[in-house]
Amino acid sequence: MDVTEIPFEHKMAAHCETGTVTALLNHAGLEITEPMVFGISGGIFFGYIKSSDLPFPMFILRSRPGNIRKKISQRLGVKFHEERFRSAEAGEAALDNAILNGHPTAVQVDFFYMDYMADWQRVHINAHYIIVFGMNGGNYLVSDSYYKQKSMLDRQKMLTARFAGGMMAPKGTLFYADVIPDNINLEKPIITGIKRAAFNMTRLPIPFLGVKGIRKFAEKLNEWPAIARDIEDLSDRVIKINIFLEDQGTGGGGFRYMYATFLQQAAAITKDDRLKTMSKEMMEIGDKWRNISYFAAKIGKNRDLGPERIKELSMMVYAQADEEQKFFNELYKLVK
């Protein structure tokens, strides 16, 4: 049986894409933290999305999948070798080749087929990233930042997961760190990242993105009882607010805690104490998101989902929109 294994340090991370990019950069010798990758890429965001691709309207808390890698590459000058494929055979051969050439390689997959996770955790979501660092007969050796240890994935499953169709189809996307420049200075990328994030949150002229998206979410929450199949379904959807904010790779408080951590690290690097103050404020905003998620989980569990309760939840979200508008406006002025 053929065994290839690239020495690779497995580390859990809050989020799969930032975790994957961070792990690849660390492996290539660049010391950088997950929050730093998240912040520099301007990953923090909000959007309220309704589409027939989704079983129910949902909100997103971060930029488009793939964006984190792209922006990190632009802003730090690191180069990733990146490929997508039309044919599954070519995609499989390219992954095997990359492994044989000694590159731990990130692949985009449908999370549903990651069978080392528990059944109840596995959902169809095409924007999951894992790192493949070896092959062992009919299995790939993988490092998934959501899983406690290194694990294995069957070759056929991997192929299905990489070439799942549907929304945000992965199309076999793979990438590995190629060129890392010496002496990367983080100061300028940090400022660019903050500026972009603050801009996206407050100044996009689209009614369901950024702070406007938070308001849209607050407004539309009141319609949820009418679009849910029944009270059971509604209860499930409201509890999922908690899951989206806390569990689905956000680092807690809907990515806001991770962003606060980024701002604190950024303050130390740029020696700008104002960022430290902002970081504290962001932490508090995260706490308020966490209150929302606790509240949602509680009323969802108790089926306490009358119009007043939903209204109460909606008001909490509105307040959050005001807070974030103020915060990101201030942040924008600070780096302008």
Partner 1 sequence: MKEKDLYIENKINQIILYAEKEDESYDAIKSGSYAVKHFLGDYFKLKENLDKELREELKKGNITPVYYYMLMQDMGPGDLAKRVGISKRKLRKHFRPDVFAKLDHARLQKYATVFGITVEQLKKSIFIKWT
For 33, 155, 210, 242, the CA distances from 59, given in Å and listed in that order, are: 26, 33, 11, 12
Contact flags string 51-70 toward partner 1, x per CB under 8 A? xxxxx---------------
Residues in 166-205 that interact with partner 1 by CB under 8 A: 166-167, 169
| Least Cβ distance, residue 296 to partner 1 (angstroms) | 10
Q: Are the beta carbons of 42 and 196 closer than 8 angstroms?
A: yes
143 in contact with partner 1 (CB under 8 A): no
- One DSSP character per residue, 191-255 reads HHHHHHHHHHHH----TTBTHHHHHHHHHHHTTHHHHSSSHHHHHHHHHHHHIIIIITTSSSTTT
Contact flags string 217-236 toward partner 1, x per CB under 8 A? ---------------x--xx
- One residue of 83, 178, 281, 287 binding partner 1 per CB under 8 A: 287
148 CB burial (10 A radius; 0-12, 13-18, 19+): exposed
151 in contact with partner 1 (CB under 8 A): no
- Count of residues engaged in binding partner 1, rule: CB under 8 A: 54
Residues in 111-140 that interact with partner 1 by CB under 8 A: 112-113, 118-121, 123-124
333 in contact with partner 1 (CB under 8 A): no
- One residue of 30, 88, 184, 239 binding partner 1 per CB under 8 A: 239
In the complex with partner 1, the residue whose CB is nearer, 16 or 24, is 16
Three-class SS of 157-204: HHHHHHCCCCCCCCCCCEEEEEECCCCCCCHHHHHHHHHHHHHHHHCC
- One residue of 68, 106, 130, 164 binding partner 1 per CB under 8 A: 164
For residue 218, the cross-strand partners are none
In the complex with partner 1, the residue whose CB is nearer, 46 or 163, is 163
| Least Cβ distance, residue 50 to partner 1 (angstroms) | 10
Within the chain, residue ranges assigned H as helices are 16-27, 34-40, 67-76, 88-100, 155-162, 187-202, 211-221, 224-227, 231-242, 256-270, 273-301, 307-335
209 in contact with partner 1 (CB under 8 A): no
| Least Cβ distance, residue 283 to partner 1 (angstroms) | 7
Rounded to whole angstroms, how far apart are CA atoms 250 and 244?
A: 8
Most distant CA pair in the chain, distance: 63
Chain residues that interact with partner 1, rule: CB under 8 A: 12-14, 34-35, 51-55, 112-113, 118-121, 123-124, 145-146, 148, 160, 164-167, 169, 232, 235-236, 239, 242-243, 246-247, 249, 251-253, 257-258, 260-261, 264, 279, 283, 286-287, 290, 293-294, 297, 300-301
